[in-house]
């Protein structure tokens, strides 16, 4: 799920106590979710009548990251997928090498798919001013913003935000589990998480939410408000949505101030299990197109994590967002940043 590098930093300042938080949920004993869970009795890779649904493990990865990808695969196969044999789908903006294909397929009994990203899905859009991109990158770099001047990182964020689910290889796939190179999975999971999402009408599953660097998304919330003012029909009423989480000013007021009204809270998308029907829906598609035209994926450093999170917080019923606790995952793992470029 996340890269293990060193002892994790505290998730909040130790002296801050919030009256609505009686205990730290990360220290509570965790259990499997209630209700019917699908086990691995009939999930053999060669069983055409298995209970598997139209889902895949998804990874955007480069050929040179083969060792890190193998490590991630070994962990997830050991803890979960050897029981369920869901296919792996790898994406790259250049063709995968024979070595990459051979070594990754050797890690699993499930099918592996190797897909090339279409040029028009990865390229910088025609309406983006390249001179402004260069100048913006320099300004971000001067502020010591990580990857601010790395064009391929901006392309990756845009692709993960609004392009990946349009790939022809995913046209018949509904659910995905995003897995990146050099991540660790420590907890055995003994039920089909995709079936759980489907049977319980869940749209999005996460393990942790964090604050973002407000300097990277200074115009994201103002652009979001422009969109919602033009399309109020897409915003659920506040009893159903998570707008209060998006606009929170109590816990980190400086974040809200610096991001012009957005708390910067976001689901960490290095781990996400999601239903692509939400991304393919009219509300999200129009929202992404609005943001894409605004240019913030390149002029700032808008990431897929805040973009996904804002859309979920405004356009989706919060009861359809699921926290995968996975036995103290947050404390066991340190969030690791994966870089494309």
Q: How far apart are CA 39 and CA 32, in angstroms?
A: 12
- Quick one: pLDDT at residue 18? 61
- Quick one: pLDDT at residue 10? 47
Q: Taking Cα atoms as reference points, which of 288, 268, 72 lies closest to residue 164?
A: 288
Is 28 a residue of the active site? no
**Tokens found for residue 337:** 């940043």
| 303 Cβ neighbours under 8 A, 6+ residues apart | 157, 161, 212, 216, 217, 266, 269
Task: Please pick, among 272, 285, 300, 316, the residue that the annotation labels catalytic.
Answer: 272
Backbone angles phi, psi at 89, to 5 degrees: -125, 115
SS in 3 state form for the chain?
CECCCCCCCCCCCCCCCCCCCCCCHHHCCCCCCCCCCCCCCCCCCCCCCCCCCCEEEEEECCHHHHHHHHHHHHHHHHHHHHHHCCCEEEEECCCCCHHHHHHHHCCCCCCEEEEECCHHHHCCCCCCCHHHHHHHHHHHHHCCCCCCCCHHHHHHHHHHHHCHHHCHHHCCCCEEEECCCCCECCCCCCCCHHHHHHHCCCCEEECCEEECCHHHCCCHHHHHHHHHHHCHHHCCCCCCCCHHHHCCCCCCHHHHHHCCCCCCEEECCCCEEEEHHHHHCHHHHHHHHHHHHHCHHHHCCCCHHHHHHHHHHHHCCHHHEEECCCCCHHHHCCCCCCCCC
- Report CA Rg, the chain: 20
Q: What is the pLDDT of residues 243-253, one digit of tens each?
A: 999 999 999 99
- Quick one: pLDDT at residue 25? 64
Q: Strands 272-275 and 265-267, how do they pair? A: unpaired
- Quick one: pLDDT at residue 26? 63
The pLDDT tens digits along the chain (341 residues) read 333 333 444 444 445 556 666 776 667 677 788 888 999 889 999 998 999 999 999 999 999 999 999 999 999 999 999 999 999 999 999 999 999 999 999 999 999 999 999 999 999 999 999 999 999 999 999 999 999 999 999 999 999 999 999 999 999 999 999 999 999 988 899 999 999 999 999 999 998 899 999 999 999 999 999 999 999 999 999 999 999 999 999 999 999 999 999 999 999 988 899 999 999 999 999 999 999 999 999 999 999 999 999 999 999 999 999 998 754 333 333 333 233 33
Q: What is the pLDDT of residues 75-120, one digit of tens each?
A: 999 999 999 999 999 999 999 999 999 999 999 999 999 999 999 9
Q: Distances from the Cα of 270 to the Cαs of 184, 267, 335, in angstroms?
A: 11, 9, 8
- Quick one: pLDDT at residue 199? 96
**Tokens found for residue 50:** 């298995």
- Quick one: pLDDT at residue 122? 97
| 278 Cβ neighbours under 8 A, 6+ residues apart | 203, 204, 284, 311, 312, 315, 316
């Amino acid at each position: 799920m996340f890269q293990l590098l060193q002892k994790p930093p505290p998730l909040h300042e130790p002296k801050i106590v919030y009256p609505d938080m009686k205990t730290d949920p990360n220290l509570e004993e965790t259990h499997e979710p209630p209700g019917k869970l699908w086990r691995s009795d009939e999930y053999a890779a060669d069983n055409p009548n298995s209970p598997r649904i139209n889902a895949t493990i998804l990874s955007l990865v480069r050929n040179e990251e083969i060792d890190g990808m193998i490590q991630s695969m070994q962990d997830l196969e050991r803890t979960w997928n050897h029981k369920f044999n869901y296919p792996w789908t790898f994406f790259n903006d250049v063709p995968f090498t024979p070595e990459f294909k051979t070594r990754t397929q050797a890690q699993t009994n499930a099918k592996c798919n190797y897909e090339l990203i279409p040029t028009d899905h990865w390229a910088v859009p025609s309406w983006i001013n390249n001179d402004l991109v260069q100048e913006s990158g320099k300004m971000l770099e001067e502020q010591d913003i990580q990857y601010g001047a790395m064009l391929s990182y901006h392309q990756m964020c845009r692709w993960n935000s609004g392009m990946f689910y349009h790939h022809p290889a995913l046209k018949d796939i509904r659910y995905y589990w995003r897995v990146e190179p050099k991540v660790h999975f420590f907890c055995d999971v003994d039920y089909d998480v995709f079936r759980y999402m489907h049977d319980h009408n869940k749209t999005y599953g996460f393990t942790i939410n964090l604050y973002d660097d407000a300097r990277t998304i200074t115009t994201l919330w103002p652009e979001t408000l422009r969109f919602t003012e033009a399309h109020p029909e897409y915003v659920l009423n506040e009893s159903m949505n998570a707008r209060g989480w998006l606009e929170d000013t109590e816990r980190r007021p400086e974040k809200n101030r610096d991001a012009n009204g957005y708390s910067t809270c976001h689901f960490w998308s290095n781990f996400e299990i999601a239903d692509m029907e939400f991304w393919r829906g009219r509300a999200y598609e129009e929202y992404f197109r609005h943001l894409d035209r605004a240019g913030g994926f390149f002029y700032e450093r808008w990431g897929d994590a805040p973009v996904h999170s804002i859309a979920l917080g405004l356009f989706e019923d919060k009861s359809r967002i699921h926290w995968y606790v996975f036995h103290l995952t947050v404390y066991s793992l340190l969030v690791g940043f994966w870089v494309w470029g």
